[in-house]
Amino acid sequence: MYKVNIVIPSITTDSRLIRCLDGVQNLNYKNFFVTLVLDDNKNLSKLKKFKFKIKILFLKRANMSTKRNIAAKKFNSVFLAFIDSDAYPSKNWLINAINEMKSKKIEIIGGPNIPFENQNFWKKISYYCKRSFFVTAQYNFINYKSYNRYCNLLHSSNFIISKKLYMLVNGMNKNLFIGEDHDFFYRLNEKFKNLKVYFAKKVFVYHEDREFKFFLMQRFCYGLNVLTAKNTKIKRILALIPFFSICIVFLLLLNLSKLSLIVLSSFFVLLSFIIFLETKKYINEFRTTIVVIICIYLSNLFYGFGTIIYFFGVRNRIEKKIYRNIKKKLNN
């Protein structure tokens, strides 16, 4: 059995991290150890109940990329398994991943992030928004099209990779506070043109969604990074649609007339109807569908505003502040 380093970055030892480690303890693959990368040493006594080996690194105020890179580099292993502290693995997560990698002779694999069943209303709204093509475009196929396939992108909250391959591209970009998985897989595919990245539906984790207000902040940060993130030209054009949409609406409102009102009204009615047909596939309640449609518009508005703010040259300062505030509130 190959030795696996399960890397879990977190701010502190909170209830989410303990839930994640409970899931790790139930894994039926035994040749692993866990590397926790924490900001502080609070509540470490809660870790005594776990029977597997836990290695702890302390790195205050570092982003997720930096924490993952240090954990990957510090200790010896054949594979690295990445999971977020607000998620927990299915029992067969590692054994399924290792078996698939051996049979297909590949070095990287991932799978879906399945939402918790008992999430509150606004966390469900965040989940439904993420499922929409009008929010995540091609990215929604990663999580919500549950069939096995080769792909070029996986979530940083659920993938397993050989340590050798991870280090060949120097890990994740330590300068990115958000969208580090997009950047990582872009660089990986650019360096290794024939690389096989595999999505396996049975290599899944359970992942808690964000409250909608935090989801909006995340969308704002994605907008801040759309022009700097490494990506294909087509994906970058798709990502800029919210920005251009805001500009067009603003220009039409500047020249407000009966014609511009008709054009805007017709556009939003048609688009809302298309979104309604799309979301109807996975939402049964009419009231929830209406809320989701409104929230999809809001998420794109925040995304577009993020792109606008980028041009003022304050991206890094704002992004760091938002990232740290979100992390702090999520861990309270």
Q: What is the DSSP string of 208-251?
A: PPPPHHHHHHHHHHHHHHTTTS---HHHHHHHTHHHHHHHHHHH
236 within some domain: yes
141 within some domain: no
Rounded CA separation 159/198 (Å): 10
Is 331 strand, coil or helix? coil
Proportion of the chain above pLDDT 90, given as a percent: 55
User: Within this chain, do residues 313 and 172 fall inside the same structural domain, yes or no?
Assistant: no
Let me know: does 213 contact 166? Beta carbons within 8 Å: no
Res 235 pLDDT > 60: no
Is 310 strand, coil or helix? helix
User: Within this chain, do residues 233 and 164 fall inside the same structural domain, yes or no?
Assistant: no
Q: Choose between 87 and 253: higher pLDDT.
A: 87
pLDDT at 97 (0 to 100): 97
User: Within this chain, do residues 257 and 318 fall inside the same structural domain, yes or no?
Assistant: yes
Rounded CA separation 246/281 (Å): 28
Q: Give the model's confidence band at 310: pLDDT under 50 very low, under 70 low, under 90 confident, else very high.
A: confident
* Domain termination site, one of 169, 188, 209: 209
Res 326 pLDDT > 80: no
Q: Tokens 């511009």 label which residue? A: 260
Res 17 pLDDT > 90: yes
Res 112 pLDDT > 70: yes
Is 7 strand, coil or helix? strand
Joined tokens for residue 88: 């927990």
* Domain termination site, one of 209, 226, 249: 209
Let me know: does 224 contact 321? Beta carbons within 8 Å: no
Q: Mean of the pLDDT values across residues 34-46? A: 94
pLDDT at 255 (0 to 100): 74
Q: Tokens 């977020």 label which residue? A: 84
pLDDT at 153 (0 to 100): 87
Q: Tokens 């020249």 label which residue? A: 255
pLDDT at 158 (0 to 100): 95
User: Within this chain, do residues 45 and 168 fall inside the same structural domain, yes or no?
Assistant: yes
Rounded CA separation 247/70 (Å): 42
User: Within this chain, do residues 188 and 71 fall inside the same structural domain, yes or no?
Assistant: yes
CATH number of the domain enclosing 195: 3.90.550.10
Rounded CA separation 75/35 (Å): 9
Helical (H) or strand (E) element with 22: helix 15-25
User: Within this chain, do residues 258 and 178 fall inside the same structural domain, yes or no?
Assistant: no
User: Within this chain, do residues 163 and 279 fall inside the same structural domain, yes or no?
Assistant: no
27 within some domain: yes
Q: How many CB atoms lie within 10 A of CB 112?
A: 22
81 within some domain: yes
82 within some domain: yes
Q: How many CB atoms lie within 10 A of CB 320?
A: 14
* Domain termination site, one of 163, 187, 209: 209
Let me know: does 4 contact 77? Beta carbons within 8 Å: yes
Please count the CA atoms within 13 angstroms of the CA of 4 that sit on its side-chain side.
Answer: 26
User: Within this chain, do residues 183 and 41 fall inside the same structural domain, yes or no?
Assistant: yes
Count of all residues that appear for the chain in the document: 332
Q: Give the model's confidence band at 231: pLDDT under 50 very low, under 70 low, under 90 confident, else very high.
A: low
pLDDT (tens digit per residue) in 242-270 = 767 777 777 767 777 788 788 888 888 99
User: Within this chain, do residues 189 and 270 fall inside the same structural domain, yes or no?
Assistant: no
Is 110 strand, coil or helix? strand
254 within some domain: yes
Rounded CA separation 241/243 (Å): 5
For residue 100, the enclosing domain spans 4-111+154-209
Q: Which of 192, 175, 198 is nearest to 97 (CA)?
A: 198
User: Within this chain, do residues 39 and 173 fall inside the same structural domain, yes or no?
Assistant: yes
User: Within this chain, do residues 256 and 298 fall inside the same structural domain, yes or no?
Assistant: yes
C-alpha 96, offset from chain centre: 22
Rounded CA separation 209/299 (Å): 15
pLDDT at 87 (0 to 100): 96
User: Within this chain, do residues 232 and 312 fall inside the same structural domain, yes or no?
Assistant: yes
140 within some domain: no
Which range, of 233-237, 238-242, 270-274, averages the lowest pLDDT? 233-237
Q: Tokens 């397993």 label which residue? A: 160
Number of domains present in the structure of the chain = 2
293 within some domain: yes
